[in-house]
Structure 1
Amino acid sequence: FNCICGYHQVTSGRIIFYGEDITPLKPHEVARKGLARTFQVYLASGDLTVEENIMVGCFMRTRSSEVAKSKAKAIMERLKLTSLADHFVTDLPIAAQKKVSMATALGTEPKLLLLDEVAAGLNPSEIDEIMESIRHIHEDMGVDIILIEHVMELVMRISHRVIVLESGVKIADGDPASVASDPNVIKAYLGEKFAEDQVLMK
């Protein structure tokens, strides 16, 4: 994600986004092209409220505080964050912070949203809530999503395509069902019980 978004320079190859080479671009230039990301650890502005943090993302597309505020309110409503609008992000539980991070990224009006370990540290009910938000962002808002994630239940339930890496090497690539039954993936990540459960679910 750091290479894709311009934080790190690639040592070989190119990054093509909607037919355009974005390899040499800086992070803010990449964002203006319609590519946004979240970070595993969300570094919110501690002296800003939830609404104000989301407005920061909105300012990527407008200089008007009124327009940014209106867009932030709409995003909060979509992600069920309205009740937290006046709270400081640093005072929120981790699950809510992750949703604010997603909302701030959405403020930049991305075509593609990169989610980095968005389910890390969450309990099952919080994971379900995050999953609902991801589905809404993709299906209702029309934003494509790539996620890096180690919570396999979320990955398998929400993804159309799964790519599995082990020590930087791709060991599987396909739909969730085929990846879940791949012997290399089972050995590296899932375990026999997870694979059996996936078969039963089918």
Structure 2
Amino acid sequence: MEKLPHQTLEAKDIHVVFGGLRALNGVNLTLSRGGILGLIGPNGAGKTTMVNVLSGFQRPNQGRVSLDGVDVSTLSPRKIAQAGIGRSFQSARLFRDMTVEENLTVAGLGIGLSKAAATEQARDILDWISYRNGYDRRCEALSYSDERRISIARALALQPSFALLDEPASGMNDRECEQLMEIIVNIPRRFGCGVMLIEHNMQVIMGVCERIHVLDGGKSLAEGTPEHVKKDPAVLRAYLGDKARANAVI
């Protein structure tokens, strides 16, 4: 599939079953290019399964994923990345025996850039995220927070129409989270892509997302602005239980 600047990523009636476990049960969501959508929910809600479906790592048992109305549900992860969907992982999954620059260059080569263009793009992105520890630093020597940032940078090196970020703030301290938030909120402006953010850190979610989609038990529970979602009684129940609702702040 030719990579085009797609405007809409849509998941419709997504069902995923693992043995007797229904990980996703009729989920619908839409991400627009240039927007930031938060995907939240308790542990086991189906968030990472949803990202795996959108990025081709998990085929749905039912439903479809489409880019501007074109079904991409059966494409391989590589073809989906080439079509315009980039992602990061909970574990960074960097090529640890390669340098930071090489990790991003490989991503550029994968979408058809020349070696020179892929290398130039890698350095531009690393400068943009304010990475200062050396293009030639091997990834096995990176700090945890740098691993998380380089994972995002590698996803951006795919020139995606949509970047799916899976718990990028996990394990970061408050200062690192603030730096990460600045990066994420500026991704649509700098790269022109939409962002879907999975995150348990509510400070990050509420600070950068325009809309939030809540999953619970594999089903869509709520969707709306941060202000709307954090006051939704069903969302408070899912996170905190009935007794905690009155005084809860998400």
TM-score using structure 1 length? 0.91
Q: 1:188: how far off?
A: 2.6
- For structure 1, the residue ranges without an aligned partner over 5 or more in a row are 196-202
**167, 183, 200: which one pairs with 1:133?**
183
User: Greater CA deviation, 186-195 or 158-167?
Assistant: 186-195
Quick check: which one's strand share is greater? 2
Q: What number of residue pairs does the alignment pair up?
A: 195
8 A Cα contact 2:159 2:191, kept in partner = no
Quick check: which one's helix share is greater? 1
Q: 1:64: how far off?
A: 2.2
Q: 1:129: how far off?
A: 0.9
Question: 1:180-199 counterparts in 2 under 5 A?
Answer: 180-189=230-239, 192-194=247-249
Q: 2:125 aligns to what?
A: 75
Q: 1:24: how far off?
A: 1.0
User: Greater CA deviation, 183-192 or 161-170?
Assistant: 183-192
8 A Cα contact 1:161 1:176, kept in partner = yes
Q: Could you give the per-residue CA deviations for residues 112-138 of structure 1, whole angstroms, max 9, x where no partner exists?
A: 000001111111111111111111212
Partner secondary structure for residue 86 of structure 1: coil
Q: 2:141 aligns to what?
A: 91
Q: 1:84: how far off?
A: 3.1
Q: What is the letter of the counterpart of residue 135 of structure 2? A: A
Q: Could you give the per-residue CA deviations for residues 79-135 of structure 1, whole angstroms, max 9, x where no partner exists?
A: 111433121122112111111001111111100000001111111111111111111
In the TM superposition, structure 1's runs of 4+ consecutive aligned residues that sit over 4 Å from their partners are none
State the Cα RMSD in Å: 1.5
Give the fraction of aligned pairs with identical amino acids, expressed as a percent.
Answer: 33
Greater relative contact order (Cα < 8 A, sep 6+): 2
Partner secondary structure for residue 39 of structure 1: coil
8 A Cα contact 2:236 2:248, kept in partner = no
